[in-house]
Every structure is written in C-alpha cells, then in structure tokens.
C-alpha cells in the first residue's frame, strides 16, 4: 500500500454527487429527485454557515462583500474555471463561463444527473451565510444547456466595497480554503443522510450503490480518504447549536 496521500479534486466531488443523484432517481423517480434537491439545499446551507462562522470569528459583518471573500474552495489548477463579475451595481452580477463540475459530468456521460447539483446550490450557500440573502440565476446554467451561468446577488458592491473585497481576499489567502477531500466528505455525509431520511431503505440502497460506483471509478482509496475528515470539522456549527439549545432550555426552567 502506497503512503502517497490521496487527493480528491473537483472531478471526484462532481462524480460522487452525480452517482447519488442517478441512483436516487433510478430507484425512486420524482421522490428521489426531490430528496437529492433537498440534500443539496442542506449541503449548501451548511457551507454557508461555515463561511459565516469564519467571517464572524474574524469580526467581519455578514455582507455580500464578505460572502464573496470567504469562499471555501478554489480550482484544482489555473484555467480550470472561468468566472468573474458582470457588473457591481445596482446589484452584483457574476458569471461562470467554464465549469469543472460540468466538464466532469460530460467526461463521464452523466450530465443528466449531475445537473441537479446546480439547481439551488449557489442560493443555498448564500442563504446559509445569511438567511435573508437571495441569489437568483438569470440564465439557464451550463449544465442545463445555457451558454454560461449568470447570477444576481441582490445587493450592490460599491467601488469601495469591491476594493475591500480584493483586499480581504488577499488578507485571507488560503486560510479558509478546504481541499476536495473535505468537500467530498461533506457531500457524502449530508447527501447520504438526506437520502436515508427521505427515502428510507431505498435511500440507503441508493447511497450504497453511489459509493460503490465512486470506488469503482476512482479506487477504494479515494472513498476511504473521505473517512479521515472529522465530522466536527465538517459541521462546526453543530456545537454552537447545541450550546444555544442548552442555554434556551435553562431560560425556560
């Protein structure tokens, strides 16, 4: 057995989701599709909550500017993604013209299932960051046949805020970036849990088949690597939730 560290990339993350979606939908039809979409909303909300925790820990307000600064991932290599700003006022609008997730699904001929990842994930992350925020797609996404993904973030970035965004990203560097072992492990836990919650034994079976497909495609070592990510790192906000529940219970006694 090699001691070389297994490193997941966007392709692994994309394909694990697509396998979950395929088996949930093949086994349960519309109910499977609804469970996958529910799972993706939960997954996005959780990512947003981690970002908000990071911002709050550094004393930053939860704004559209800081939301753009506290992203948790980066492309595997330069040129893999193409994205940027369309405008900053009266509301921030951004685009994605080249997407590594889309490329992975096309490579493995599974775009018809992978595309469900894109239905609400950006909005879910944004609302996880702050509940009153809404990110609205303004075009069909790449995975659904659009020429490029475009989003309206509902709030402006002034010229000053845009300069602050560049400075904040520089200050943060890679301090809040998680690798794709982490992100793929997060996806595994949240989507599997949701499928089982909503689909019962069929959800459990869908998850088992998805994980088997993942291991067959990439190697068992890539699946095993996901077990090395501690759950308390994936869900750091759960400890805060438990503390709040205890405090609330004390106040009602």
Print the SS3 string covering 33-84: HHHHHHHHHHHHHHHHHHHHHHHHHCCCCCCHHHHHHCCCCCCCCCCCCEEE
Q: What is the mean pLDDT of the chain?
A: 94
Q: Would you call 159 exposed, middle or buried from its count of C-beta atoms within 10 A (0-12, 13-18, 19+)?
A: exposed
Q: What is the pLDDT of residue 249?
A: 45
- For the chain, give the percent of residues with pLDDT over 90: 91
Please tell me the distance from the alpha carbon of residue 71 to that of residue 170, in angstroms, as a whole number: 13
**54-67: pLDDT as tens digits:** 999 999 999 999 99
Q: Tell me the C-alpha distance between 224 and 199, whole Å.
A: 25
Tens digits of per-residue pLDDT, 60-113?
Answer: 999 999 999 999 999 999 999 999 999 999 999 999 999 999 999 999 999 999
Token digits of residue 228: 């090395």
- Among the listed residues 223, 217, 204, 216, the one whose alpha carbon sits nearest the alpha carbon of residue 32: 204
Helices 30-57, 237-252: inter-axial angle, 10-degree rounding: 80
Residue 252 reports pLDDT greater than 70: no
Tell whether omega for the bond before 97 is within 30 degrees of 0, i.e. cis: no
Question: For 159-212, how does the pLDDT look when each residue is reduced to its tens digit (9 = 90+)?
Answer: 999 999 999 999 999 999 999 999 999 999 999 999 999 999 999 999 999 999
Spatial distance between the Cα atoms of 155 and 126, rounded to a whole number of angstroms: 12
pLDDT of residue 238: 82
Q: What is the pLDDT of residue 241?
A: 61
Residue 173 Cα distances to 71, 108, 183, angstroms:
11, 33, 18
């Amino acid at each position: 057995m090699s001691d070389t560290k297994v490193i997941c990339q966007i392709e692994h993350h994309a394909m694990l989701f697509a396998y979950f979606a395929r088996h949930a939908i093949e086994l349960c039809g519309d109910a499977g599709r609804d469970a996958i979409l529910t799972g993706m909303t939960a997954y996005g909300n959780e990512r947003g909550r981690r970002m908000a925790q990071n911002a709050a820990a550094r004393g930053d307000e939860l704004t559209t500017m800081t939301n753009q600064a506290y992203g948790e991932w980066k492309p595997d290599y330069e040129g893999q993604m193409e994205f940027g700003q369309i405008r900053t006022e009266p509301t921030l609008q951004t685009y994605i013209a080249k997407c590594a997730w889309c490329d992975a699904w096309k490579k493995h001929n599974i775009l018809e299932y992978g595309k469900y990842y894109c239905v609400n994930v950006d909005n879910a992350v944004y609302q996880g960051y702050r509940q009153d925020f809404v990110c609205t797609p303004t075009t069909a996404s790449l995975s659904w046949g659009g020429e490029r993904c475009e989003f309206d973030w509902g709030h402006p970035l002034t010229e000053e805020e845009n300069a602050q965004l560049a400075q904040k990203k520089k200050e943060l560097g890679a301090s809040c970036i998680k690798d794709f072992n982490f992100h793929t492990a997060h996806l595994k836990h949240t989507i599997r849990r949701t499928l089982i919650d909503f689909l019962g034994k069929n959800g459990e079976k869908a998850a088992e088949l998805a994980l088997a497909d993942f291991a067959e495609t990439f190697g068992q070592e890539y699946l095993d690597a996901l077990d090395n990510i501690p759950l308390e790192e994936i869900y750091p906000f759960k400890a805060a939730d438990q503390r709040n529940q205890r405090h609330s219970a004390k106040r009602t006694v």
